[in-house]
Amino acid sequence: MKKLNSNEFRQEVESGKGLTLVDFSATWCGPCKMQGPILEELASEVDYQIFNIDVDESDDIAGQYNVNAVPSLMIFKDGVLKDTLVGFHSREAIEEKMAKFQ
């Protein structure tokens, strides 16, 4: 799972093609620390991109997408936000939600 800064986010996600999952998180967030390993494992097994945005380092992107709680998982398709999952989610819940957009 690649960590993106604001400029990389614009290139990889907003200008990207296909399905993308973006994890908005923070280093101080307990649920984010639990979510991370699930996303890392998933990233090595799926055919879509999974990226991480640190909300403290990229507060402009977090503000643009109204990230009010972390972790927030946002699903993008061809650069367009399709859905958001707020809080910790199981691998199964993430896979089920992503399948709706594939």
- pLDDT, tens digit, 9 for 90 and up, residues 21-57: 999 999 999 999 999 999 999 999 999 999 999 999 9
- Average pLDDT of every residue of the chain: 96
Classify 72 as helix, strand or coil. Answer: strand
Annotated catalytic sites, by residue? 29, 32
Say if residues 23 and 69 touch (Cβ distance below 8 Å): no
pLDDT value of residue 102:
87
User: What's the pLDDT band for 61 if we cut at 50, 70, 90?
Assistant: very high
Q: How far is CA 50 from CA 44, 75, in A?
A: 9, 9
Span 53-72, mean pLDDT? 96
**CA dist., res. 25 & res. 78, Å (int):** 22
User: What's the pLDDT band for 60 if we cut at 50, 70, 90?
Assistant: very high
Place of tokens 């494992």: 41
